[in-house]
Amino acid sequence: MYAIVTGASSGIGEEYARILARNRYDLILVARRKDKLKQLSEELKSAHGVEIEVMDMDLTVMKNVTDLFNKIKKKKLDVEVLVNNAGFGANTIFSETEFDQYNAMIKLNITSLTQMTHGFIEYIEGSSHSGYVQNVASVAGLAPVPYMSVYGATKAYVVSFTQALSAEYDRAKLSFNALCPGMTISEFHEIAGSKVDDSPVPMMTSAEVAQFGYENLKSNKTILVPGFANKFTAFLGRVLPKPIVLKITKMMMERLR
């Protein structure tokens, strides 16, 4: 059976691909950097003897996602899992980032994730087996995040979208969950412009986050928060009054700027 991993060229997606290959999944690796995907593909094919399709593409181009599912159908690949992981953020005062950047973020974190899910559901409905979707959201999707306002809002979309789909579909055929990591070691922070050397919270590794995601891929839980510190943060976000949560989050985010 195949698993699709978007954003497999680095960080959480790369580690997720490694774990899936170790667990005998064939893989469809998606990201823009072909060299990185090829390198990972060679490593995993020789280590685990799995089949791998490298699909280097910009997911924000709608036609690319349509082509991806057409290729899957044409090649008659049996796909069971979709890990919608590709995403990026920006850590700035809202007006200090160009709108183009936000537009690209919304296209990747929201539009392409939605299109991938749509294509996958259509594919699974036409197949005789079940499908599992794990959408990589963030603890940033569980409460508003000052200085990452658009990013946090895109991840709140992912959480809401995933919760709605998990209620809409029969879990025996299609299961959905949202993985909500906290700060994780990856290229994410350099791209977002965050200074994480002085992180106010402990950071998990991408491998730890991916392992947690994989272990819970088929669980009945819809929201998956890896690590004790992140679970505690998510809990405080739920129980404390919203203005206090915003004040604390703002203070923490200021440490990262």
- 164-173 — which CB contacts under 8 Å span 24+ positions? 165/117, 165/133, 166/222, 169/121, 171/220, 172/130, 173/124, 173/125, 173/130, 173/131
Using Cβ positions, the residue closest to ligand NAP within the complex turns out to be 11
Is position 151 annotated as part of the catalytic site?
A: yes
Starting at the edge strand found earlier in the chain, the sheet holding 52-56 runs 52-56, 26-31, 2-6, 79-84, 131-136, 174-179, 223-224
Q: Which is nearer to ligand NAP, 1 or 61 (CB)?
A: 61
Q: Which is nearer to ligand NAP, 131 or 152 (CB)?
A: 152
Q: Which is nearer to ligand NAP, 7 or 119 (CB)?
A: 7
Q: Measuring CA to CA, how many Å separate 154 from each of 15, 55, 139?
A: 23, 25, 12
Binders in 82-141 for ligand NAP, by CB under 6 A: 85-89, 108, 136, 138
Which residue in 13, 152, 226, 227 binds ligand NAP (CB under 6 A)?
13
Whole-number minimum distance, CB 53 to ligand NAP, in Å?
Answer: 15
What positions carry a catalytic annotation? 151
- Can you give the binding site for ligand NAP, defined by CB under 6 A? 7-13, 31-33, 36, 58-60, 85-89, 108, 136, 138, 181, 183-184, 186-188, 191, 206
